[in-house]
């Protein structure tokens, strides 16, 4: 009976030991990759009430002079927004937020790109400003730079100021911009009593038609050769020859010269907030046998890492310009054709994005005139096309742009990277990953400079800071780190000088650890032995006392 009680006691002790080793001791000895000092709360993405808005057809409207709270809720999310103007406005479109890097595109109602920005706003957010925006519908596209991070929350703001006639002061002949035939011009007669001048020149005889259209209004129009004496040098006049109360003038075999067009509101007692002057010119003369002249304004424009290039050209032809196209390709991809956007009369431009460092960009232009022959000209750099390689915006620091976590590049273990802090206030970020526990040494070095290193865990918890533990005034951090992702931040101490050149070296020393289950098993065995000894000792003294 006594032997059975002893075995029962040992059995209960073993059960108690198992319970202890799998609860309190397990929770005490379990290793966690989460920093015990980390109190950073989980940030849940704000609900984006505007989704789904990932293309032109699903774009959500934004009211002028308002703000929308949005998010890039997945790494490949894209937000499309639309707005409508009823007159001429100056426009400012901006994204802002506490953390993130946006890109911003603007398109017209036909989905032609008319603007792009990457970092024009605060920090790495985007901002675009336009002095002139005519009436119509427009679209905005926003994404996260690189499409490799989410943006939990950002604000989209559109500011608009009514600019009734952005071309003023054009009621003085000296301030009038030249116009081309076969083109349309949107203007306004504001305030009451306003008058507007246009001028065009022809070098051969043309058949010219000038017509004004609009939603509401009554105009008068005069064509003359001397704006200071418009009646004395009058070529033609019209009041109501067009649709409604608008004007229209048709001139046959107009001789080569410079001509001025005067437009005003009939009676000068009302304003016309918007009207369009349509110009057309045709000639049957054989003098127009050539295509337009194309001058590439900057054949090899400057480029920045993963950003845009802007290509512009001046295209002229006395018959007027119909279309200008950009033919372009990236690396070994197929050629693409994109219509250029006209800016005023003879200037055409377009922005292409995004691009990456090392990409080879090739392009050429074609242009068509508006003569009856519709001649085409190709500007392709004498059949060699225009070619250039996209380079970093800092040739002395090929890892730029790396002034934010969104641009941070990975550095390999046991490697050295050459960098620089330039300009003043520059910040360099880099990342590294550990698949096990290591002793890590991070060191900066250079001929001159004073660096500061910050080391962060992947959840942006600060682990260590060092100023002058390296050689001279450079920095050095030695830490034991668990498996995970880490961020290094390097700045110049004081952020008031540059560091022309420095290197950062990351060295990792592997640690051979006893695994958790081995520790628990050893501890459990130890406890079993201790309890067994206690029970055996107790049994021994009981038998001793019975004797």
For the stretch 482-517, pLDDT in tens is: 999 999 999 999 888 888 889 999 999 988 655 555
Report whether 178 contacts 219 (CB < 8 A): no
Q: What is the pLDDT of residue 260?
A: 95
The Cα-based distances of 26 to 30, 33, 516, 525 in angstroms read 6, 16, 9, 14
Report whether 274 contacts 219 (CB < 8 A): no
Report whether 205 contacts 256 (CB < 8 A): yes
Cα separation, 460 vs 491, in Å, equals: 17
Tokens of 434: 């550990």
Could you tell me if residue 242 is left (phi over 0), alpha (psi between -120 and 50 degrees) or otherwise beta?
beta
Cα separation, 276 vs 116, in Å, equals: 28
Helix (H, G, I), strand (E, B) or coil at 522: helix
Q: Which of 15, 29, 32 is nearest to 521 (CA)?
A: 29
Planar angle of CA 149, 153, 156, nearest 5 degrees: 110
Residues 6+ positions from 102 with CB-CB distance below 8 Å: 72, 95, 121, 124, 125, 126, 142, 143, 144, 145, 151, 154
The Cα-based distances of 57 to 54, 60, 134, 358 in angstroms read 8, 9, 22, 34
Based on the number of CB atoms within 10 Å of its own CB, is 98 exposed (0-12), middle (13-18) or buried (19 or more)?
exposed
Cα separation, 451 vs 157, in Å, equals: 38
Report whether 124 contacts 144 (CB < 8 A): no
The Cα-based distances of 518 to 31, 129, 515, 524 in angstroms read 13, 64, 5, 10
Helix (H, G, I), strand (E, B) or coil at 303: coil
Residues 6+ positions from 381 with CB-CB distance below 8 Å: 299, 364
Report whether 411 contacts 430 (CB < 8 A): yes
SS (H, E, C) 319-378: CCEEEEEEEEEECCCCCEEEECEEECCCEEEEEECCCCCCCEEEEEEEEEECCCCCCEEE
Q: What is the pLDDT of residue 444?
A: 95
Each residue's pLDDT tens digit in the chain (547 positions)? 555 555 555 555 555 555 454 444 333 333 333 343 444 333 334 467 888 888 999 999 999 999 999 999 888 899 999 999 877 788 899 999 988 899 999 998 888 888 888 888 888 899 988 766 777 899 999 999 888 888 989 999 999 988 766 667 777 888 787 888 888 888 888 888 889 999 999 888 888 999 999 988 999 999 999 998 999 999 999 998 999 899 999 998 888 899 999 999 998 999 888 899 999 888 755 456 778 999 998 888 766 544 678 888 989 887 778 889 999 999 988 999 999 887 656 788 888 877 777 788 999 999 998 776 788 999 999 888 998 877 665 555 656 666 667 667 788 899 998 888 877 888 888 889 999 999 999 999 998 899 999 999 977 789 999 999 999 999 999 999 999 999 999 999 988 888 888 999 999 998 865 555 555 666 666 777 677 777 767 666 666 666 5
Residues 6+ positions from 21 with CB-CB distance below 8 Å: 520, 523, 524, 527
Strand segments (E) across 31-88? 60-61, 66-72, 78-85
Cα separation, 347 vs 533, in Å, equals: 96
Q: What is the pLDDT of residue 325?
A: 95
- Give me the DSSP letters along 273-296: EEEEEEEEEE---TT--S--EEEE
SS3 of the chain: helix, strand, coil, percent, to 5: 15, 45, 40
């Amino acid at each position: 009976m006594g032997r059975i009680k002893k075995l029962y006691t040992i059995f209960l002790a073993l059960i108690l030991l198992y319970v202890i080793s799998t609860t309190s001791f397990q929770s005490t000895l379990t290793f966690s990759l989460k920093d015990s000092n980390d109190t950073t709360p989980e940030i849940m993405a704000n609900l984006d009430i505007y989704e789904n808005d990932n293309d032109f057809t699903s774009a959500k409207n934004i009211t002028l002079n308002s703000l929308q709270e949005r998010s890039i809720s997945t790494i490949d999310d894209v937000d499309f927004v639309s707005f409508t103007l009823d007159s001429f406005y100056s426009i400012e479109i901006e994204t802002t937020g506490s953390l993130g890097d946006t890109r911003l595109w603007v398109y017209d109602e036909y989905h032609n790109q008319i603007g792009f920005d990457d970092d024009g706003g605060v920090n790495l957010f985007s901002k675009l400003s336009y002095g002139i925006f005519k009436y119509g519908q427009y679209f905005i596209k926003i994404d996260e730079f690189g499409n490799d991070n989410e943006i939990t929350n950002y604000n989209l703001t559109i500011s608009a100021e009514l600019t009734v006639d952005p071309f003023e002061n054009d009621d003085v002949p000296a301030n009038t911009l030249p116009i081309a035939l076969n083109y349309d011009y949107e203007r306004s007669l504001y305030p009451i009593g306003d008058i507007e001048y246009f001028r065009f020149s022809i070098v051969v005889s043309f058949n010219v038609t000038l017509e004004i259209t609009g939603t509401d209004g009554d105009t008068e129009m005069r064509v003359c050769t001397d704006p200071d004496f418009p009646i004395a040098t009058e070529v033609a006049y019209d009041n109501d020859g067009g649709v409604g109360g608008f004007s229209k003038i048709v001139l046959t075999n107009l001789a080569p010269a410079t001509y001025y067009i005067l437009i005003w509101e009939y009676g000068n007692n009302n304003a016309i907030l918007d009207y369009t002057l349509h110009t057309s010119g045709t000639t049957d003369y054989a003098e127009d046998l050539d295509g337009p002249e194309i001058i590439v304004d900057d054949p090899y424009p400057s480029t920045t890492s993963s950003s845009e290039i802007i290509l512009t050209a001046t295209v002229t032809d006395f018959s007027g310009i119909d279309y200008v196209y950009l033919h372009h390709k990236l690396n070994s991809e197929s050629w693409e054709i994109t219509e250029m956007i006209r800016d005023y009369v003879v200037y055409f431009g377009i922005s292409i994005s995004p691009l990456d460092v090392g990409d080879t960009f090739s392009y050429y232009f074609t242009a068509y005139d508006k003569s009856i022959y519709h001649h085409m000209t190709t500007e392709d750099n004498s059949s060699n096309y225009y070619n250039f390689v996209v380079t970093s915006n800092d040739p002395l620091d090929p890892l730029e742009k790396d002034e934010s976590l969104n641009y941070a590049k990975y550095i390999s273990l046991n490697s050295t990277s050459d960098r620089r802090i330039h300009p003043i206030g520059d910040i360099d970020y880099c990342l590294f990953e550990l698949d096990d526990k290591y002793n890590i040494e991070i060191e900066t070095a250079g001929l001159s400079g004073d660096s500061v290193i910050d080391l962060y865990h992947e959840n942006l918890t600060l682990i260590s800071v060092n100023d002058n533990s390296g050689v001279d005034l450079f920095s050095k951090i030695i830490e034991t780190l668990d498996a995970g992702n880490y961020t290094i931040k390097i700045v110049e101490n004081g952020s008031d000088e540059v560091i022309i050149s420095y290197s950062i070296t990351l060295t990792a020393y592997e640690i051979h650890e006893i695994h958790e289950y081995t520790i628990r098993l050893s501890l459990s065995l130890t406890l079993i032995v201790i309890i067994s000894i206690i029970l055996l000792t107790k049994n021994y003294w009981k038998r001793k006392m019975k004797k």
